[in-house]
Amino acid sequence: MNDLAVGWTIKRNCSASPRQLALVYASIVAVSFAFGAAFAARGLWLVLPFVGLEVLAVAAAFLVYGRHAADYERIELRDGVVTVRRVEGTRSSEWGARSAWTRVESEAGRLYLAAHGTRIEVGRYLTHGRRAALAQELRQTLRTTAASGV
């Protein structure tokens, strides 16, 4: 068998690393509690519970962001098999099919790999233009492997 292996890894475009996110959160907490303490010192102590709620809301938003910052899709073609591995938060899934039976479908701006009556959406983290380029690359690679008999 031919050891031809081709792969695409598609990740989210995350603008902040976990360290940067922690520094931003720490600065928000520090500034919020500084203002809360200043108001509390002037007798407006009821501001502090709302500062606490604000800090909790920001923490929840950062947790959701951080949980999905490492999401990715990995499309791989090896030994005549197409495999799509998807990681979203704590969940991971895998889809696979023989490359000879796999086709690339586009529908309403979305991209799918389909075989044997099932299909999976790919390229969800790409812009429309890059998704079209991925579709073209996938089609070409599938044609090439079918022609080489892999």
d(CA 150, CA 132): 25
Give yes or no: residues 64 and 85 share one domain.
no
SS3 13: coil
Give yes or no: residues 85 and 128 share one domain.
yes
> Which domain CATH number covers 88?
2.30.29
d(CA 8, CA 98): 17
Q: What is the pLDDT of residues 45-71, one digit of tens each?
A: 999 999 999 999 999 998 888 888 888
Quote the pLDDT of residue 3: 54
Give yes or no: residues 75 and 99 share one domain.
yes
Given pLDDT bands bounded at 50, 70 and 90, which one contains residue 92?
very high
Give yes or no: residues 62 and 81 share one domain.
no
- What is the domain count for the chain? 2
Determine contact, residues 141/6, Cβ cutoff 8 Å.
yes
Give yes or no: residues 98 and 63 share one domain.
no
Range of the domain at 52: 18-68
What is the token pair recorded at 107?
A: 């529908």
Quote the pLDDT of residue 145: 81
Q: What is the pLDDT of residues 115-136, one digit of tens each?
A: 989 999 999 999 999 999 999 9
Kindly list the strands in the beta sheet with 118-122, ordered across the sheet, starting from the edge strand earlier in the chain.
Answer: 103-107, 110-115, 118-122
